[in-house]
Structure 1
């Protein structure tokens, strides 16, 4: 294994290290053995935070030391099983077979476990797929093991401004260190920080027309209601109201979902960071209210993956959570809207920080029961910002998924730019669009989700900048072979070490994500005793919506096939510029004003009114563009119904015109 010490050497040196108790703490005391720094183990939030104290010595943390597989050989296997014409095409490995062929050995995992035990940590356990070793201990023991100080930090919510108030989180103050003999085995360490960096869905209230005042604040379909702007904003004088949340029927019609293909026999995994309330009951109510077939009990199950014993870290996360979090409900309902015949397995991750919890969920999907992963399609409606966890952890999981035949669909994020999770070349990155669905359930327009927000107060407009879906070009991964000839060079150039190279472009595909054109999501509230209460609805959106919509349509296409598509990017790019995709085009001056912006009325939470101007191309806020063909807002485009499904089925036997590695890095 490239760069990994032989098992015997590691065990021998590790035994010496543990016996001597030779890894000193962060106090700077003399050290009996050298230690190596693990890069990428400090959360990005620390850069804008102020230290406000130390973590209590009694606080217990559950950490995970992620182990290094033989990524080079595993990537070659992943390429082979994803390439038509290869002798290995669609000959996917079982989780156990992957671990045996490419994972760290049992002895190597045991060496890391022995070191953690020797440092006084308890509950030391190697996970079934040997992806990581977990351990729990009080703050002083963790500080000593990893040569860090763990403090409490305050940082303001960058997404909400100062109005959000200060947020306090616990974190290590520097990169962690591990004994030098073990360093080649370690990809990264998670669980030391409670910084809530992971992206959540965008949920807003969904008011209906106000009968008492005869004033509508949202529409049942696009441009049902309009609003005059006084004064005009960016040349616009009359724009539409946002939708109250599209129904399943509207989204199915817009993306051409048919009743011939419903995802029957397929399983979609939904990775979540928290458990929803009465999900099957909620899904049943959603199906009933949207006139969909009611789900069978056998179609939905929920499993837990990972745990955390750090109560204060959990409390930090809970205090920063939104009052109504419909992330899990939206994922399940969006998949069900597109693929009502598919099975769903909701994997709820546990961990001492949100990133760790969601990585645990993704890992659990791939480990499965050892013989099979939990699903062949994984909808991951979350992002991990660059710098929050090591890219090597995410890359190892994605390569494993591709080798096992699991498609990893990741949200491109709800802010411009790249993330750790969407930029990996073995991830299917799902971008966002603004989607107008008309009275006849027809697609009136669809463009890249990039809204320039204007605020009206005291008769004057203030430009608040751009929000929208993620995308761009990676400076870590070179352009994968499947993007060559499809992604324009002008959209793939990036500077690395003073040289201009072509990098991996994001996203790959897209669907509706704009809060102004979101989905009406159902959830079950809880009463004062914590019991399930009434079924309610709220408009929700974000690339957290786009991802399960695409996953559901892929499940439809996979119906009846003997083997899953697995890593589907080579096929998606082969089908670029065909009828399989609807090309989301830029907004121009010839576009009717009603399709160029949305008016958001003032309400109980804000005395200001707002306007979202669609498809904003402000380079000061985002380097992304919407353009004809491939673009860094919507990728190859959005699914085009039956044409998309049929093309996936016909195109899976194409022979690519070129070869090349997909995992070339500039790290």
Structure 2
């Protein structure tokens, strides 16, 4: 989830999580076949698409994954124990193989599922190394008979070509239904874009030429129409560099993340990432990266079908590097050609690759995830799959940091109780990198009209957050999250108080964002193009937090793992800084920024972005003293935060 702009693109762009295009339900009432129906195993986009426009050819090959159910009750109890600083089991994690032996589906039950698939005519049947799922391939006709569905083609909103999908929820025989939490791979409904893109105002950013500021308040635009009596606003930030961000979060020279590996989950891999990082670090006053501290793991066909996370990858690596320049950064690039399960199957594969590791240890102590599956209403299959992945991660000591989103509302999987949801802030730093102010990220965009008036376009972008429709309030949030924030309203599927996101926050506002660098190959054999431009979004805040935790894990006997129980025990302490709301008492200079007109895009007018919009009718989120639904318990407070993590 990111907000970006390049000089050659000239527009602020919010790129968020993978589009939430999925939902449950059965499109057409019909007689139930014998067996157990798996609710939520047909895409919402299909149930609302209208009649099918064709059949999937019966001989067309399909590869599916049957995700297996282990002992979730025992796994949950273990995850809670190893994550609770008051437990004798705190930080006593299991290896991937030991976790499978203790909580995974048994080899016998996995064999039973494999045998059923073989009996149905599936081939190339193989389990994931830790028996998280069993993958198998068969012609469409076989798939239809096995799951009691018809594979059809549908015209789906936002898709230029017909998509393929099962036409109803699948049915499994009772003999194996209890071993399966979901089936993926039946549809090829891609997200509307590889990353959901929103242009809230198409406001422009042109680097230095448009009078942007290197620090907050460096340049000021006067003579503007009045907003709450204010006719002058600072210009937006050109993008803080690595040293500015490192100073903003109080990262001492000794805290570099030495010996700690963090995995960055992407789709595809970036062009010349290490060379780009080297130039970016030097320009920002950071040490040069070491070649042995950066590696890539490309899965499947890699970039063969494009690089859907371009810019996202650079943002993740660069921002986290600023917080922990000696960490080992492992970029895991999912198969860009894998269109299964709405394009997210590759992301599941990437997470599993980290957690499976070599059997004796996972590949990293944390993953940074700037993607999501969409709002709480995604199909139960996807919710179940991600929950099983998150439980395993907690048991193995792998922290799972997920962006909370770049729009009002609650997304999956950041809302899962075993994910650490990272929200966002607006941050003003002065010329000496002192904090002038920090507040929740929620910008109201005002277009400056030629007649000396404004047109209020409403919320341009905001950190995601609020109460989940799916998950009940976890123990670690009780007595910390105000009762007034724990009710999601209509549609709540979990009686009583709900899980609330985010858990923690960091810089996300694009108008006070980070300067990101990318390298693009030259055209027709020409020289590469190196470009720097400002970026924001919870895609920025998430790797920032992951990097800070990596620095805290340096030299420790065990990783921080699933951090939430410890994190909430620190609420209100000096370990956390508390972003506060913008009020009438806030200095006028800290209430918003001016983004000038870009002559290269004449249709885009100048705008003023005012901070911390508290219109709860449109955001469902607030900034408040203590816990709030844009920044969680607060932002990491330098050495106090690191010391607090290390002492437990």
Retained in 1: the 8 A contact 2:551–2:642? yes
1:410 aligns with 2:402: yes
- The alpha-carbon deviation at position 201 of structure 1 amounts to 8.5
C-alpha separation in 1, matches of 2:449 and 2:60: 47
What's the CA shift string for 1:411-448, capped at 9, x where partnerless? 11111111111111111111011111221111111111
SS where residue 529 of structure 2 aligns?
strand
Would the alpha carbon gap of residues 559 and 151 (structure 1) be closer, same or farther in structure 2, given more than 3 Å must change? Answer: same
Would the alpha carbon gap of residues 500 and 90 (structure 1) be closer, same or farther in structure 2, given more than 3 Å must change? Answer: closer
Retained in 1: the 8 A contact 2:154–2:163? yes
Retained in 2: the 8 A contact 1:223–1:241? yes
Q: Could you tell me which residue of structure 2 aligns to residue 400 of structure 1? A: 392
1:644 aligns with 2:611: no
1:342 aligns with 2:327: yes
C-alpha separation in 2, matches of 1:525 and 1:53: 40
Retained in 1: the 8 A contact 2:208–2:238? no
1:618 aligns with 2:615: yes
**Aligned match of 1:555 in 537, 540, 550?**
550
C-alpha separation in 1, matches of 2:502 and 2:386: 17
**Aligned match of 2:383 in 379, 391, 396?**
391
- The alpha-carbon deviation at position 179 of structure 1 amounts to 2.9
SS where residue 565 of structure 1 aligns?
coil
Q: Could you tell me which residue of structure 2 aligns to residue 283 of structure 1? A: 277
Would the alpha carbon gap of residues 483 and 278 (structure 1) be closer, same or farther in structure 2, given more than 3 Å must change? Answer: same
- The alpha-carbon deviation at position 153 of structure 1 amounts to 2.9
SS where residue 191 of structure 2 aligns?
coil
After TM superposition, list the pairs within 5 Å mapping 1:33-432 onto structure 2: 34-46=34-46, 53-54=53-54, 57=57, 60-137=61-138, 139-146=140-147, 147-156=149-158, 170-191=164-185, 192-196=187-191, 207-210=206-209, 216-228=210-222, 230-233=224-227, 235-305=229-299, 325-350=310-335, 351-352=338-339, 353-385=342-374, 386-389=376-379, 390-432=382-424
C-alpha separation in 1, matches of 2:637 and 2:115: 53
Q: Could you tell me which residue of structure 2 aligns to residue 162 of structure 1? A: none
C-alpha separation in 2, matches of 1:437 and 1:202: 27
Retained in 2: the 8 A contact 1:488–1:630? yes
Would the alpha carbon gap of residues 475 and 327 (structure 1) be closer, same or farther in structure 2, given more than 3 Å must change? Answer: same
Q: Which runs of 5+ in 1 are unaligned?
A: 1-25, 157-164, 211-215, 653-667
**Aligned match of 2:454 in 447, 458, 461?**
461
Matched residue count:
603
What's the CA shift string for 1:199-226, capped at 9, x where partnerless? 569899752332xxxxx34221112222
SS where residue 330 of structure 1 aligns?
helix
Q: Could you tell me which residue of structure 1 aligns to residue 11 of structure 2? A: none
C-alpha separation in 1, matches of 2:36 and 2:301: 28
Retained in 1: the 8 A contact 2:56–2:164? no
C-alpha separation in 2, matches of 1:416 and 1:632: 10
Retained in 2: the 8 A contact 1:268–1:555? yes
1:527 aligns with 2:528: no
Retained in 2: the 8 A contact 1:200–1:544? no
Scaled by the length of structure 2, the TM-score of the pair is 0.86
SS where residue 616 of structure 2 aligns?
coil
- The alpha-carbon deviation at position 49 of structure 1 amounts to 5.2
SS where residue 320 of structure 2 aligns?
helix
User: Structure 1 stretch 390-399 or stretch 183-192: which is displaced more?
Assistant: 183-192
Retained in 1: the 8 A contact 2:85–2:566? no
- The alpha-carbon deviation at position 378 of structure 1 amounts to 1.2
Retained in 2: the 8 A contact 1:277–1:532? no
C-alpha separation in 2, matches of 1:445 and 1:527: 41
1:538 aligns with 2:523: no
- The alpha-carbon deviation at position 114 of structure 1 amounts to 3.5
What's the CA shift string for 1:95-152, capped at 9, x where partnerless? 0011111111223223333444444444332110111122344555444443143324
- The alpha-carbon deviation at position 341 of structure 1 amounts to 0.9
Q: Could you tell me which residue of structure 2 aligns to residue 569 of structure 1? A: 564
Retained in 1: the 8 A contact 2:518–2:531? yes
SS where residue 76 of structure 2 aligns?
helix
- The alpha-carbon deviation at position 602 of structure 1 amounts to 3.1
Scaled by the length of structure 1, the TM-score of the pair is 0.83
- The alpha-carbon deviation at position 558 of structure 1 amounts to 1.0
